[in-house]
Structure 1
Amino acid sequence: MTVNDPLPDEVNDAFPVWLARANGVSRVRLRGKDLESPFYGVRLRGDAVAPVVQTDDPYEYQRRLRVARARQYAPRLHTGHFYSHQTAASVWGGPLPLSFTPAGQTAGAADLELHVSAFGHLPFPRTAGVTGHRTLQRLTELDEHDGLRVSSPAATWASLGTLPLFDLIALGDYFCRRWRAGYGRPDVGREPLATVDGLREMVEAGRRRGAARLRQALAAIREDSWSPRESRVRCILVAAGIPEPDLNVDIFDAYGRFLGCVDMVYRAQRVAIEYLGMLHGEQWAQDVERMAALRAAGWTVIEVTSLLLKRPEELVARVRAALSS
């Protein structure tokens, strides 16, 4: 078999080397330029590799890169192995802190380690680009999501006790979000991925790295936070001694007209806090009009940008001033 010979029908677009060899594919053919080797023992047909869709949000882009790497490794995934830790969190769509290279640059695909766990005494994977873990049955739950075998949301969260506290809270907020009824809200009644009680059960199932931090985070998780940046704003305010705001509240004017759903609200003081992400075009215009309508109805609106979030003392001062005026 030469490097240009067609591959047998028994191998898919992504396949383990052992399967190809068992179907007569030579080592020479496996070194063909039309095949990629993202991990030892795995080959991908080059024309079937879809590029990861770029996005302006670096957090979301890294999440997509992790999921793409998991799909590339999947042909090699042992039946007793499963994706865990940061990889599982990304498969579930959860927010994670940005990862950086030792040089301080935002990590790319090759820099983002896959996390693969094995039960009991089963050998865990030892290959470049993969961090292996060993766990016990009582410390995790298995699930399947989007075609990948992963730890459950609750087990995933409980495995990440080394994350900073704010990031643990944001991930817990994401997993426990309740999809409540409201003006124009999506997916009303959809079941949350996890519950606070479920997270607590996994934390208490046995010894955990970062157990004290996990328990501290449990007390701060809320079911109505819609984004990790909202979670961070809330935590900054509470840590500074400011009362906790109500989250994602539908606001109406004196005539019953809907003005908007506000990220954080102090009803008695009529103070609204809105986190402004990377806005473009129509979304930016809608948010400008929504905040103008709130101000016209007598609300004080504090707009939080990514730059203000990096200056927590100033954020706290603005909110404290608004609440005391």
Structure 2
Amino acid sequence: MKHPLSYAHYPAVVSVSEARARGASDYDIRSGRGFPPATWGIRFDNSVSTEFPVPIWADEAWIAEAKLLIAIAHRHPGVVACRETAARLYGWPLPHSVGRDILHLGTSDTNKRIRRRGITLHRMRMLRSIEWLKLPVLSPLQVFSQLASVCSVESLVKIGDAAIGDWKSPPQFALATLVAHISETKHLRAKPKLEAAVDLIREGVDSPMETDLRLWAVSRNLPEPAVHPAVYCPTIDRTLHPDLGYPREKLALEYEGDHHRTSEYQWAADIDRVNALRAAGWTVIRVTKSTNRHQLERDIRQHLGQQ
């Protein structure tokens, strides 16, 4: 699936000497008039802009981080976004405990130093960079490996489901490729944690909430539900794919986010969908963030004949 993009006009990035060559006075440089500071020694030229692709889900914080990365890369060629910064640029669902006040950069230059507040430089023996939306970013597989130092197994699974899925950004890698990377790469930090996460990553997941629900079921010693099982519904002559399900017992679990409630169209479509599944002989349990999980567990066990 090709994801739609919007476009933003980023101001040109110039050094202080380049700004002076463009007619900026010392006062312009000090005050930031027309040439606001990006980072030490680097200015933005608001009179000149370049069009950059931006994901439609990107917010102002995403754009600000992208602009800062471009400015830093202009002053320090060869650096790339890595760790949490790269994960945010990829659109991966980082846990709320991970802050965004640090710009994480990677370099293969062992002598490189960037001593600036808000920037952490990671020197890497093996650095594989890509261009992501015209931004220099560490390869997705390496970024995923790095996140083991700041994420739990559950968070890594959520990120992995997103990275191989198609719910926000295009897939960054295939599950088989990730498995090979983790198993074949030597000296990975927290490798047991990465291996545990990879064992729980599944293809075709649409959202982090689906991952949460699936992992919750596993944590309660329930059978792992299938992701998007195929259900032919004769009343509408279509095959539907509930979020999660137990095909043998014909039990579907549907996670309902707030947009299911606030959108009149989505609400009506959900009703038609549930009716079609039930007419096909399936039981549908609808789940929200406020669902009582103890009751949910009892309902699932009863339907699976585990009580």
* Maintained 8 Å contact 2:140/2:172: yes
Gaps of 5+ in 1: 1-10, 101-106, 180-185
* Maintained 8 Å contact 2:158/2:208: yes
Tell whether 2:221 aligns with 1:241. Answer: yes
- Structure-2 residue corresponding to 1:257: 237
Tell whether 2:130 aligns with 1:134. Answer: no
The 3 A distance-change label for structure 1 pair 74 and 120 is: same
* Maintained 8 Å contact 2:113/2:121: yes
- Structure-2 residue corresponding to 1:6: none
Query: Pick from 196, 205, 212: which aligns with 2:185?
Result: 205
What amino acid is aligned across from residue 117 of structure 2 in structure 1?
A
Structure 1 position 22, deviation (Å) = 5.5
Gaps of 5+ in 2: 1-9
Matched residues in 1 for 2:296 and 2:87: separation?
Answer: 29
TM-score by length of 1: 0.75
TM-score by length of 2: 0.79
Q: Which has the higher strand share?
A: 2
Structure 1 position 92, deviation (Å) = 2.0
* Maintained 8 Å contact 2:85/2:104: yes
Alignment of 1:115-194 (within 5 A): 115-137=104-126, 140-162=127-149, 163-177=151-165, 192-194=171-173
| Secondary structure of residue in 2 paired with 1:274 | strand
What amino acid is aligned across from residue 275 of structure 2 in structure 1?
A
Structure 1 position 264, deviation (Å) = 0.6
| Secondary structure of residue in 2 paired with 1:43 | strand
Structure 1 position 76, deviation (Å) = 2.2
Tell whether 2:47 aligns with 1:41. Answer: no
Matched residues in 2 for 1:46 and 1:200: separation?
Answer: 45
Tell whether 2:26 aligns with 1:27. Answer: yes
| Secondary structure of residue in 1 paired with 2:258 | coil
| Secondary structure of residue in 1 paired with 2:141 | helix
* Maintained 8 Å contact 1:96/1:171: yes
* Maintained 8 Å contact 2:104/2:119: yes
- Structure-2 residue corresponding to 1:87: 85
The 3 A distance-change label for structure 1 pair 173 and 19 is: same
| Secondary structure of residue in 1 paired with 2:243 | strand
Matched residues in 1 for 2:105 and 2:154: separation?
Answer: 25
- Structure-1 residue corresponding to 2:304: 323
The 3 A distance-change label for structure 1 pair 270 and 121 is: same
Alignment of 1:50-61 (within 5 A): none
Structure 1 position 159, deviation (Å) = 1.0
* Maintained 8 Å contact 2:19/2:35: no
- Structure-1 residue corresponding to 2:66: 70
